Amino acid sequence: MSSLRVLVLTHQDIEVPDSLDGLSPQEIQPIKTEYDVLTALDHLGHKTHTLHAPEDMTAIRRELFTWKPHVVFNLLEEFRGEGIYVPYLLGYLELIQQPFTGCNPAGLLLADRKVTMRKVLKYHRVPVPDFEVFPRGRKKVRIKKKLKYPLIVKSATEHGSVGISQASIVNSDEKLLERVAYIHEQIGSDAVAEAYIDGREIYVGVIGNRRIETLPLWEMKFEKLAPGSHRIATNRVKWDEDYQEKRGIYTDVAKDVPKEIEDRIRRMARRVYRILGLNGYARMDFRVTEKGKVYLLEPNPNPDLAYDEDFCESAKAGGLSYEKLIQKIINLGRRYIRERAS
């Protein structure tokens, strides 16, 4: 395997240490993904240069035209402070035919626009929860009666469980209006209210460009939730390790999934991947009810690549080591530009 020049783009202005020894979990968490990816690239023999939190295209263009990387490893979650701007930056890379890892800009943009994405999937008869949008800035919020309680209220644009808590589940018009106002005022985005689907939360990783494969099914377990709590991936569930330990929340291989349902989940994951025009790698989030009905909750292009995160753990369970996964992602990124031109 030849050594490549890899330009790593990160959304944070951070210094990644040579070792995590002696650091607390609170110090490690913000830099974990960057550390793991850079360590893997080093072990693979690639030469890396990291560009931290670029604010405009000048620094990126300078690196591209002076260092001439073989591939850009995209770890950006935002550009100029906004996640929605990342696809536009990738569009520039695509325009100059600079290979980069992860999803293409068109697919990423569509998946990020949650309302449009849901409409597209509904058109293609993909089972997604019924939903209603509550735009910011309207003088009066109107509640349509087609939705049935309970509902879960989310931001229409944010990811990573931003703005989601147990209070996001509402059972009345009054509570719905309160939560919509919270999203509008505190998160600063439109709100989406969708039917709450009670059931198992199952993830499936998808990887590939034209030829795609699915990884072993992964599941979020909720073993010791407080009475009356709902099994949802709140902000605390995702990021608070003390809360996870206290409430018995962890992820692992999804066990005892009937083959028929597993096959349906895998087919649906591949189909959504193609409908939305995704490539590189993604994670699809599903809910499976007690009666075996499967709903897609979210498609997540470019999921977290930290060594011990769900996507990478699932790949390891499927026989793909972390370093092989990182190399595969690089190969797909380099191949995408050639495939697009052919």
Tens of pLDDT along the chain (342 residues) come to: 689 999 999 987 778 888 888 888 888 888 899 999 999 999 999 999 999 878 888 989 999 999 999 999 999 988 877 778 899 999 999 999 999 999 999 999 999 888 999 999 999 999 999 999 999 887 677 777 678 899 999 998 877 677 788 899 999 999 999 999 999 999 999 999 999 999 999 999 999 999 999 999 999 998 888 888 888 887 777 777 787 888 888 889 999 999 999 999 999 999 999 999 999 999 999 999 999 999 999 999 999 999 999 999 999 999 999 999 999 999 999 999 878 766
| Domains 128-195 and 199-341 fall in the same CATH topology | no
* C-alpha count within 13 angstroms, C-beta hemisphere, residue 85: 11
3-state secondary structure of 63: helix
Distance CA(300)–CA(311), nearest Å, equals 11
Superfamily of domain 199-341 in the CATH hierarchy? ATP-grasp fold, B domain (3.30.470.20)
CATH architecture label of 128-195: 2-Layer Sandwich (3.30)
Contact assessment for residue 58 and residue 66, using Cβ atoms and an 8 Å cutoff: no
User: What residue segments make up the domains of the chain, in order of their start?
Assistant: 5-101, 128-195, 199-341
CA distances (Å), 239 to each of 234, 300, 301, in order? 9, 17, 19
CA distances (Å), 271 to each of 39, 48, 128, 214, in order? 34, 35, 13, 11
Q: pTM (2 decimals)?
A: 0.92
Distance CA(91)–CA(98), nearest Å, equals 10
Tokens of 50: 């990291």
CATH architecture label of 5-101: 3-Layer(aba) Sandwich (3.40)
Q: Which of 335, 84, 92 is nearest to 208 (CA)?
A: 335
Give the per-residue SS3 of 5-51. EEEEEECCCCCCCCCCCCCCHHHHHHHHHHHHHHHHHHHCCCEEEEE
